[in-house]
Structure 1
Amino acid sequence: MSIRHSDFHERCQDDSTTSWAVGIDLGTTYSCIGVYRGNNVEIISNECGYRTTPSCVAFSDNGILVGYPARNQIARNPSNTIFAAKSLVGRKFTDTLLQEALHLKQYPFKVINSEGKPVIHVQDRGETKEFTPEEILSMILVKMKGIAESYLGHIVTEAVVTVPANFNNMQRQATKDAAVIAGLDVIRIIDEPTAASIAYNAGLKVTGKPELNILVFDCGGGTTNASLVVIDNITIDVKATGGDNNLGGQDFDNRLVNHFMQEFKGKFRKDLSTNPRALCRLRIACERAKRVLSSCTQTTFEIESIYDGIDFCTTISRTHFEALCEDLFIKALDPIQKVLSASNTHKSDIDEIVLVGCSTRIPRIVQLVSDFFNGKDPKRSMNPEEAIAYGATVHAAMLRHHPEGPNDHLLLDVVPFSLGIDYPPGIMNVVVMRHSSLPLKRSTMISTSAHNQTSLFISVYEGDRSRTVENMLLGAFEFPGIQPAPKGVPEIEVTFDMISRDIIHVSVRDMGTGKSKDVTISSDNPRIRPSWDESDCMMSGIEEY
């Protein structure tokens, strides 16, 4: 049972205690929240007693359900139960992988095109409604916020929220938008592997080495990430980061689902893909079987009356499961190779390998990582489902100078994608290279492309493609007042100055006249934020549960 926000305001009117800052791992399949209290990180259990909560939202006759109540009724209400909204956030509807997922019917709910963006179409208490992925994520964040408030007895207003290492600016901003709708002030967005390295550093004992090269491998429900981090007792220096936003535990589930669909079709001449409810029941059974195979070599499951009154009973071994997913397991190692190459680091220079994310419980993945590092055993001392929330919580306590908080750590981050300008037109002129360390200051020289041109239009892009049309536009502005001259003669300096990923200070200077213009491009500028009235209605709808 959730508690209304108004109840908290009434309970806290005479309470001088300040609001709490929490750490939230907003996962594709499961989410986790922690708070720093009593000189320790506490991962908070939900109303069911579990320390992770399904990232699942359902629209039922009784209102909006979030977490386990939503997940538990997915087979009865597949078209109105939303999962994996994180995989939709910040994407275009025409995204190739999104279209492939829709073609393969991986979502039992309806995803439609609204002005080029994916929107989820549901029936809510007899009324047709549409929600953006950001709004679905906000409902999950309201749930997580409520879990913390129920536990603490105080209002939670601030949070450090984690995202996959390969999330671009639009996806990060969409995550912030979801938090704002949920009534949370995001102190900072940090990468999931970076959060795991903070958690590892928090429990690190003093070693003989002044620095340790840590390779964090995060294989979760929907994404796979890796980061190379150099840590000591004070500094956490991210050297390179990367990942695959379209590879995780759900893909392993899909392999099992497709396998058993074919098995069922071969036995009974029936196609389960035509029945969303049957497909959801099979998917739940496959996820459960995958988890069992992490500790057992074989498992059997039976689904009663799955289709046309037919009972489906089958068995699968761990060896068979590994064979079905072997190419995906191997592909999951790609981010490791990429971050090592980007940082010019040899695998023999890695001191520790840290595994986080629910999919790192799969024995074959652990074995492949160990084999990649020539038999070096990965560290598995942290709970893989809780490590990211743990690190986010430590970072939140440090940023808010918690009186009982951890020792300060200096987090040095990198730019995940190249940044540049559209010059010459249509071409990505890279100003800041991918994996450049922050803070930074970089410049490039440009000029006019026409005789007597008196202004330039500066467009700032993020991405690693050579053509700007294939990258993401972050912002644009005009630089006027250039003295008339033959084309190519004026010398215009464009400088990017960055302290954090979220804010780019762009300065343009005419070297001949000294005229200059400064512009700040910030991901804090709202793009898709609904009105507060809509936000209040949304939170009220969840509180009805």
Structure 2
Amino acid sequence: MAVAWFEKGPDGKQTFSPPEISSLLLKDMKRIAEAFAKSQIEDAATTVPAHFSDSQREATREAGRLAGLNVLQLLNEPIAAAVAYIHQKKLEESCARNIMVFDLGGDTLDVSIIALESGGLLVREVKGDSDLGGADFDNNLIRHVAEQYKRETGRDLLAEKKIFPRVRETILMAKHTLSTQDEADIEFYSGDIDLNQSIPRDTFEQINEELFRNAWRSIGVMVSPGEMIVVIPKNTPLPASGELDVKCAYDYQEAIEFKLYQGERASCRDNQFLGAFMLTGFKPVAAHGKPVAKLVVTVDNDGIIRASAVAVAKNHEEGRIETVGVIIGRFSMDGLDATADEGRDWRVVQEEDEEMKAEFKARRKLLYLAWELREKRFGKMSKPERSLVTQVLEWLQSEESYPSKRTYEDKTKKLRAIQARFGGGSGRFSFAV
């Protein structure tokens, strides 16, 4: 639990829990509301960020209780904004429409599509970027002003520790001015610091252009039996492109299906499905861990994803290219699992991903070791050794889900014993689709 310190007279310091700190704010808000309503307030609906976990929501309820409030309901902030909008516009349920709630906070961005229907409010979609917020725009503007000042005077404003907080406040006031005006003046004088700059709105937009263009998630492809391999990392400046050498995952594979996903989770099932296409006509041979195709993914300035794949090294009988185009952010029913993390503790999600990544890595080690032994040492092995390698490959190619990391490591240890008789191996790492 986080701890905040407050001075409490001559007795020293006292610790407060986060709910206790929040309750102090809620008490003050309760007082203001009662003064406005001219009556006592006991019941309340409290808003929370849509991504709050169960523990954070429970802490919010506790804060309300400590503030003397009976919290009837916790409302996600986008829903609360939609309710306020409907009340302000005096809309009826019969006025069916979709409402977009755009919430750009200090550190995060959330966009929600909420439908007003006969049965009330229905949340159709909630998306956002946990790495994009107002602070990013603040920092870019401060950096721009400091760089221009340094060019003019040779001094670094960011290094002026004593006055920088006041400089920052002055710059941010100019940012607020740009919300309603086409230009803002930044003036600050203190000692030998003489700061006088004008910032047009189009300049502000130019210095933040990368933020506007980069707000999207990683794009990757599924590799058997469900791992997501990133082809274009998140927030890559547009236009962007990425390539991946692809291997056959199964023996005598005559086609490869490329499934594209968007997200940051280790497993495809936890990311958003974008689209899929098939490359056919491969020569049916035993899988060997060498590239048989190249996948190319591009994203243009309009955010349109295009993917293509072509056979390499004479592995394809026809040599044709298959392509597919999908749009970033297009929602698919196949991507519903991508919303499963909303409201979960990010630390738990991160631990799950780290554990899964370790399983994926252990599986690749086992797969490539088995391929190498079959391709290079099979004829020199004993019958039991050949049987073991064959069994491992058949087991890997029949998997529908991942077992534990330990399971892969135990099988790898047995194959290492065979490999040791032939003087080690290559230790390659690649990806099979």
TM-score of Structure 1 vs Structure 2, range by shorter chain: 0.3 to 0.5
Which structure has greater helix proportion?
Answer: 2
TM-score, length of structure 1 as denominator length: 0.38
TM-score, length of structure 2 as denominator length: 0.46
User: Which structure has the larger Rg?
Assistant: 2
